[in-house]
Structure formats: C-alpha cells, structure tokens
A = this chain, B = another copy of it.
Amino acid sequence: MNAFGQLFRVTIVGESHGPAVGVIIDGIPAGLPLSADDFAVDIERRKGGVQKGTTPRKEDDFPLFQTGLFNGHATGAPMTIFFENKNTRSGDYEKQRAVPRPGHADMVAHQKFGGFEDFRGGGHFSGRLTVGLVAAGVIAKKILQHITVKAELIEVGGETDIEKGLQKAIDAKDSVGGIVECRVSGLPPGLGEPFFDSVESMLAHAVFAIPAVRGIEFGTGFAAAKMFGVDHNDPIENSEGTTRTNHAGGVVGGITNGNELVFRIAIKPTSSTPKEQVTLNWETNQQEQFSVKGRHDLCIALRVPVVLEAVTAVVLADLLARVNAVPRVWTA
C-alpha cells in the first residue's frame, strides 16, 4: 500500500500527467496552524529550473487543501493536499510507448500492470509524486518543533565540490549521481523500537521510497566494515548519553541515543541521460537506439535534499508519537 506511518500516516497518490498528484496525511494534531505560505520555501527547493542541472519543467505547485484544514488550522481529520499537473507534454511519451526508457520503471510497470499502467512521464512512478512528500514534510517539521532536520548534497559525480561534479556531467553530456547527507539535532533519546521498528529500519523504509536512492548508511556506515571495534565504539561521557565521538550516527540498538542523528544516501545518476542508449522495442522485439526526449534533470540528487528532509521528518514525527503513546517507565 502506498502509505507510511502508524500514527502520523502519509499516503501519496497521483500520476505525472494525470489531473493532479497529492498527499493524504492522517494524525496531524488539531489546531496546528497552516497556510499555503508555509509550503513555499520547501516546494521551491524541490522544483527544477533554478539550479544548474535541473529540469526545465515548471509547475506552480500551489498546495490545494481539499480536506482537514479549517480557518487556518488542522482540524484533526485527515488532510488532503493536491497539486495540479499543468505543464505536461504527454505526446513525448505516447510516441515511444513500446520503447521502455533504460533505468526507468517503464518496463517493470508494464510487467506488473500488464499494459494498464499510466505510462505518461513515468505515471505513478514519477519523481513528480515527491511534491506530496515535501508537503507532508513541511507539516512534520512543524510538529517536530525544536528538532532540526537538515539535509545537503555533499558529493556529485565523486566530487565534494559540487559545481565541479556538475561540470563533469555537462562536459560529458551525461547525467551524474550524488550523495546526500541528513543530520538531525535535538532528538530525545529513546525513539525507535528494538529490532523491526528500529530507527534505521523506519528511516530506511521511507527513504527508499524516494526515487533513485541506491543505498543508505548510518554514522560511519560502510566504512565501519573496515574498522576495529575500539576505534568504532563511542565512549559515553555523561548520564545524558552524550558520546565523545559519534560513529554510531546517533542510533544504538535501533534506538536514538540523544546525539546527532547522521545518515547518508546514494543517488544514482538521472536515468534520462542526453546520451544515446540501447533498449528494447517490445513491438518489434528488437533492441534499438534510444535517445531521451522529454525534460529531465542532469543530476537528480540536486533536488533530493528537501525530499530527504521531508521523509525523515515524517518518520520522526511518527516515532515521536509512538513514544508519547506509551508511558515508558510506569509511574502509577
């Protein structure tokens, strides 16, 4: 099911070239003040067109509140926010119906849904749906209050100088991948549950809903596999659980330990590269040369930070609600 969260629950719907994409959010505290203005900054961050290397498709992306908002406050009932799809050019896709774009979901969607999938612009699989995630994130961040969620692009095409990485892609007339890091400060210790609902489990679950993510690592991550135990362990310094180093990235045993939460995700290069490629034509059953029409990002990772923040905030709002739910440490 296309939903995430137990107590702060987010459902995303829509297709790239359908009437609209949207998000339904259940579990918002009644009385939370909200207006369209609250969404402007994050929605702008997600949009293409501003930074070098992002898609020229422009959408207003004005949030249309269909339900759950009344007199500028959340009502406590499920909130529905829609974003109209205006700037679509479906013809681009209809012409190439039988030619699945390499790296995109065209082929798997066809296999799974037997040809009934909305194929225009990737349909339901489109990155367009992340606008709903961003909207949910705006609300989750409000709920988190003094907890700060901040993601940034730290590497493009293997370069920590992002401009340099982008230039490599421009020079190569190709797309390129990147790494996004997320840091959360102000988290209380005790979020997450042992084993299946560990903080890493919940975050990783939600993070892999973001298109193009190929990996996630917490704290030292894959580098931990090369370390000795004495170097990896973080010495505990005080009764709040503050550690001298933070190799754990703020999570031990699946539970937040009160230190900064740190994790990174790997983003593959945009599948729609300007380069010529080879793919199947399922009508002729022959491979053929393929070159992308449509409009796309040179480096999709540029647009990911705000989406990663959103998804992270959604997960944390849900975990926080769960900790509120049960009075850990019985005091009756």
Q: Are A145 and B332 touching (Cβ within 8 A)?
A: yes
Interface residue ranges of A44-84 to B (CB < 8 Å)? 65-68, 70, 73-78, 80, 82
Find chain B residues with CB under 8 A from A222 CB.
Answer: 179, 214-215, 217, 222, 266
Q: How far, in angstroms, from A67 to B124 measured CA to CA in the complex?
A: 9
The answer, yes or no, to whether A111 is at the interface (CB within 8 Å) is yes
Contact of A268 among B78, B116, B124, B224 (CB under 8 A): B224
Q: How far, in angstroms, from A220 to B268 measured CA to CA in the complex?
A: 9
Q: Are B268 and A232 touching (Cβ within 8 A)?
A: yes
Can you list, as one digit per residue, whether each of A207-247 has a CB less than 8 Å from chain B (1) or not (0)?
A: 11101011111111111111111111111111101000000
Find chain B residues with CB under 8 A from A8 CB.
Answer: 326
Number of copies: 4
Q: How far, in angstroms, from A2 to B255 measured CA to CA in the complex?
A: 13
Contact of A30 among B103, B207, B255, B328 (CB under 8 A): B328
A-B contact pairs, 8 of them (CB 8 A): A27-B325, A33-B330, A76-B328, A100-B236, A113-B329, A198-B209, A217-B222, A239-B285
CB distance from A45 to the nearest CB of B (A): 20
Q: How far, in angstroms, from A330 to B179 measured CA to CA in the complex?
A: 36
Find chain B residues with CB under 8 A from A231 CB.
Answer: 269
Q: How far, in angstroms, from A11 to B12 measured CA to CA in the complex?
A: 12
Find chain B residues with CB under 8 A from A294 CB.
Answer: none
Find chain B residues with CB under 8 A from A221 CB.
Answer: 214-215, 266
Nearest B residue to A324, CB-CB: B325
4 closest Cβ contacts across the A-B interface?
Answer: A105-B253, A215-B217, A229-B273, A114-B329
Nearest B residue to A70, CB-CB: B118
- Name 14 extra pairs, CB < 8 A, besides A77-B117, A102-B235, A108-B253: A3-B196, A6-B6, A78-B124, A103-B229, A103-B234, A142-B332, A174-B229, A179-B222, A196-B205, A200-B213, A208-B254, A223-B266, A232-B269, A237-B280
Find chain B residues with CB under 8 A from A29 CB.
Answer: 326-330
Given A13-B80, A30-B329, A209-B201: A118 and B75 within 8 A (CB)? yes
The answer, yes or no, to whether A183 is at the interface (CB within 8 Å) is no
Q: Are A178 and B116 touching (Cβ within 8 A)?
A: no
The answer, yes or no, to whether A26 is at the interface (CB within 8 Å) is yes
Nearest B residue to A129, CB-CB: B195
The answer, yes or no, to whether A158 is at the interface (CB within 8 Å) is yes
Find chain B residues with CB under 8 A from A237 CB.
Answer: 280, 287
Contact of A124 among B27, B194, B217 (CB under 8 A): B194
Given A215-B222, A254-B208, A329-B114: A239 and B280 within 8 A (CB)? yes
Q: How far, in angstroms, from A80 to B82 measured CA to CA in the complex?
A: 11
Q: Are A225 and B100 touching (Cβ within 8 A)?
A: no
Q: Are A76 and B155 touching (Cβ within 8 A)?
A: no
Q: How far, in angstroms, from A227 to B266 measured CA to CA in the complex?
A: 11
Nearest B residue to A4, CB-CB: B196
The answer, yes or no, to whether A121 is at the interface (CB within 8 Å) is no
Can you list, as one digit per residue, whether each of A311-331 has a CB less than 8 Å from chain B (1) or not (0)?
A: 000000000011011111111
